[in-house]
Structure 1
């Protein structure tokens, strides 16, 4: 499986994501600088976490308008799999690849801790090795992870089984609507989530709860 990780100024989790992808798939991802205009031929594009452009204007707002995102949108429209984590989730919503928006955490403070995620949909390219209702540990690190959307969008996400992860056991760290931690687009090839699964895949991380998520990429 070939993959690419997009690198924006201020992003700081690109190495974590690249390490996780290489550890599980056996293929070293291409690192693509944001000013490039064409993606390499890959099966997956990952948009990692961090603080692109210092989170000025809105988180992800500037990065979403970087040159490389034009090709990301074009190839996503043709079925390319795209995974956005934390700031990557914010970038994907700003780019119009996912609905809704990420606002300041309800407590107005940056949150860095472990949460529990409930797997709501196992029929995706990132969860097919999981079981419905599985609860896994996963770290978060964000100040603007409060997912919001209008009532019609929320109904569509619920009805179409497009909510992939919810915060479980009262561990919602940001006040996100309906405890939403991760969603996908209507076509099922674009996924965004706030927690950092790439930081919980090996014993040195404390546990490997999230490794099956990356193993799902191979199965897909």
Structure 2
């Protein structure tokens, strides 16, 4: 039986249909929408929390969505080892829910940024990157105003020591530079996982990079990794 992917929809989500299209129509995976008031995840094998402006980003990004009814089920799902991918606002929600460490601040230049970026895969030791060799450069777009990832020195050292930094912003040659770090994230961080490695939060949008027609299909590598992982689980 094929795995079922659930795409969570909050009031204000605007990348939910992008995520659904990527999974259902490009990756040919069984996919369904989950409204933020749903709580039954018994038929879901993989959760995707998409980008957007949940609850209009009032208070701060992800802070209100964290209290939606579905989030307690998401936490229980994740704590049992269920795979969860949070993209952009989804990453912010995972941080607010305490499923990943750290916080998001406004971009360093205080401007919304929407552009193609380069990411370097820092580890193949996650179910999201099992098919991506360490050091490979991916081209994946971003679209955010609060993507400046921050954590304190102690937590940053833990992320580094535990190999939890999954993606870093880099240039096209894979060099991690200050110039490539357009939003000011600490240590050029673009994506991190939890110690158990079943939760990934990333600011770039892999669901918008699954077809060469729109600029890049590098995002497919992430979803292919997930599908391969679930096929052998």
Tell me the TM-score normalized by structure 1.
0.97
Distance of 1:79 and 1:196 partners within structure 2: 23
Residues 24, 31 of structure 2: 8 Å contact kept: yes
Q: Which residue of 2 aligns with 1:202?
A: 211
Aligned equivalent of 1:82 = 84
Tell whether the 8 Å contact from 2:140 to 2:216 is kept in structure 1 after alignment.
Answer: no
The within-5 A match list for 1:41-190 is 41-169=43-171, 170-190=179-199
Q: CA shift at 1:24, angstroms?
A: 4.8
Q: Which residue of 2 aligns with 1:192?
A: 201
Write the distance in 1 (CA, Å) between the matches of 2:228 and 2:162: 23
Structure 2 stretches lacking a partner, 5+ long: 172-178
Q: CA deviation at 1:154?
A: 0.2
Q: Is the 8 A contact 2:191 2:200 kept in 1?
A: yes
Distance 1:175 1:145 in 2: 8
The alignment partner of 1:29 has SS state of: strand
Q: What are the within-5 Å matches in structure 2 for residues 10-29 of structure 1?
A: 10-29=12-31
Give 1:197 deviation, angstroms.
Answer: 0.8
Which range moves more in the overlay, 17-26 or 186-195? Answer: 17-26
Q: Distance in 1 between matches of 2:149 and 2:80?
A: 26
Of 29-38 and 55-64, more deviation after overlay is shown by 29-38
For residues 165 and 122 of structure 2, the distance between their equivalents in structure 1, rounded to whole angstroms, comes to: 7
Give the match's secondary structure for 1:139: strand
Distance 1:138 1:203 in 2: 11
Within the alignment, does 1:218 sit opposite 2:220 as a pair? no
Deviations 1:75-133 (A, max 9, x none): 11000000000000000000010000011000001000111000001111111111110
CA distance in 2, matches of 1:132, 1:85: 21
- Output the CA distance in 2 between the equivalents of 1:68 and 1:209: 30
Between stretches 30-39 and 103-112, larger displacement belongs to 30-39
Aligned CA-pair RMSD: 1.0
Change (3 A) 1:140 1:7: same
Q: Provide the TM-score with structure 2 as the length reference.
A: 0.92
Measure, in 1, the Cα distance between the counterparts of 2:41 and 2:199. Answer: 16
